[in-house]
């Protein structure tokens, strides 16, 4: 009887090496002169500032860190066999959070846990991660791939992402400057993003009896998998554009990424106790995908609003004098937005956000 090997235990080192050889090309296209580390090292090196035309000249920089995953949206990717978009979701969930502090996302790392060695699958996932990092001007500096045959069913995998950014202390956006009269601007989401997919899967597959290949006439005759795997929208370019435009005054007083918990819960995280944001519930069009999921699962309206973004992926709370200007800049970056609410003075025992 021959002895045990790593391969007999479920990990093929030859395939693993093949997979690792495919990844550097995707990483390189995300990187900039601030990345100093050589490929294959134990850790990545990133220069906070550098000499040259685009030197930042930081005075009091703060590092910002975020981590997140994609959740059970991955189960749909596995069933559908579509793996080149969930990497975009992975980047978006962390980078969009970092933006809420006014930070410039600097670099990103990923963790990929797989059931078995699959170089082609791994490359598809990392390609999506790299595509998103290019869009966000955020360097993909490294990651970890773990082959865990006893942790996942064959073909399954999990993703985690980690973003580090930087913001000057005087430019920090933390909600403390939100004041009565400010305006809440909602930026359009691309749909469900990456939240609430346990409820989505129950409504669509279990209660609705649909499959990934089913077509949905009311949503442009697209397949279920196309609809449910629409990537989370990346907000780095428009938000950075707005923040850079106002170098002298701090026009943006608060930023909220609308994820699990919905609009009210996430916006409340950045609203100080002295004010309340009143949201006009009918001030933006709710994309049809939400009504479709709600109908299939017979979900109550309050539950929909508690779980999903309902068409608003990010909110900027801004000085009222600049609201129109901010919306024009967002439009120039290709992002639709609406004035969805206003800020009023409030008692500390009142809710931070209310939907009217």
Helix ranges (DSSP H) in 100-181:
119-136
pLDDT at 12: 87
Domain with 78 in it: 13-171
Structural domain includes residue 267: yes
For residues 335 and 196, state if they share a domain.
yes
End position of a domain, from candidates 124, 147, 171: 171
For residues 240 and 156, state if they share a domain.
no
For residues 280 and 134, state if they share a domain.
no
Total domains present in the chain:
2
pTM of the predicted model as reported, rounded to 2 decimal places: 0.94
pLDDT at 220: 96
Structural domain includes residue 178: no
CA angle (123, 110, 82) in 5-degree steps: 40
End position of a domain, from candidates 151, 171, 191: 171
For residues 140 and 20, state if they share a domain.
yes
For residues 197 and 272, state if they share a domain.
yes
pLDDT at 52: 65
Mean per-residue pLDDT pooled into runs of 10, the chain (356 residues): 82 85 87 82 86 78 98 97 97 98 97 95 97 97 94 95 97 96 98 97 98 97 98 98 86 97 97 96 96 98 97 98 97 98 94 94
Structural domain includes residue 338: yes
Neighbours of 157 (CB within 10 A): 24
Structural domain includes residue 19: yes
DSSP per residue, 206-244: IIS---TT-EEGGGTTEEHHHHHTPPPPP-HHHHHHHHH
CA–CA separation, 84 vs 125, rounded Å?
A: 5
For residues 124 and 194, state if they share a domain.
no
Structural domain includes residue 322: yes
For residues 101 and 201, state if they share a domain.
no
For residues 148 and 281, state if they share a domain.
no
212, 110 Cβ separation under 8 angstroms: no
Structural domain includes residue 7: no
Q: What CATH number is associated with residue 295?
A: 3.90.650.10
End position of a domain, from candidates 117, 144, 171: 171
CA–CA separation, 118 vs 196, rounded Å?
A: 28
Sequence-separated (6 or more) residues with CB below 8 Å from residue 97: 66, 68, 163, 257, 259
Report which of 164, 158, 167 is spatially closest to residue 114, judged by C-alpha positions. Answer: 158
């Amino acid at each position: 009887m021959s002895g045990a090997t790593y391969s007999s235990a479920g990990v093929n080192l030859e395939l693993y090496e093949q997979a690792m050889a495919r990844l550097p090309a995707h990483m390189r296209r995300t990187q900039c002169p601030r990345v100093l580390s050589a490929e294959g090292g134990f850790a990545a090196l990133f220069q906070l500032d550098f000499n040259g035309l685009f030197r930042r000249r930081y005075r009091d920089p703060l590092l910002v860190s975020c981590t997140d995953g994609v959740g059970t949206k991955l189960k749909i990717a596995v069933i559908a066999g579509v793996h080149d978009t969930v990497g975009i979701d992975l980047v978006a969930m962390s980078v969009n959070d970092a933006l809420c502090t006014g930070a410039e996302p600097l670099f990103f790392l990923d963790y990929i846990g797989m059931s078995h060695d699959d170089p082609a699958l791994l490359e598809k996932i990392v390609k999506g991660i790299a595509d998103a990092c290019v869009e966000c001007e955020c360097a993909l500096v490294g990651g970890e791939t773990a082959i865990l045959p006893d942790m996942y069913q064959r073909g399954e995998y999990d993703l985690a992402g980690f973003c580090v950014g930087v913001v000057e202390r005087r430019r920090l956006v933390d909600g403390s400057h939100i004041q009565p009269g400010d305006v809440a601007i909602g930026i359009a989401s691309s749909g469900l993003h990456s939240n609430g997919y346990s409820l989505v899967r129950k409504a669509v597959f279990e209660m609705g009896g649909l499959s990934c290949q089913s077509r949905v006439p009311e949503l442009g005759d697209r397949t279920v998998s196309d609809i449910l795997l629409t990537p989370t929208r990346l907000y780095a370019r428009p938000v950075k554009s707005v923040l850079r435009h106002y170098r002298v005054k701090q026009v943006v007083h608060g930023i909220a990424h609308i994820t699990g918990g919905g609009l009210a819960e996430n916006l409340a995280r950045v609203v100080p106790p002295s004010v309340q944001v009143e949201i006009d519930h009918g001030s933006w069009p709710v994309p049809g995908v939400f009504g479709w999921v709600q109908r299939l699962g017979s979900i109550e309206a309050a539950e929909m609003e508690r779980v999903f973004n309902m068409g608003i992926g990010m909110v900027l709370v801004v000085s009222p004098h600049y609201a129109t200007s901010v919306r024009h800049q967002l439009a120039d970056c290709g992002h639709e937005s609406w004035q969805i609410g206003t800020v009023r003075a409030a008692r500390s025992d009142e809710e931070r956000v209310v939907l009217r």
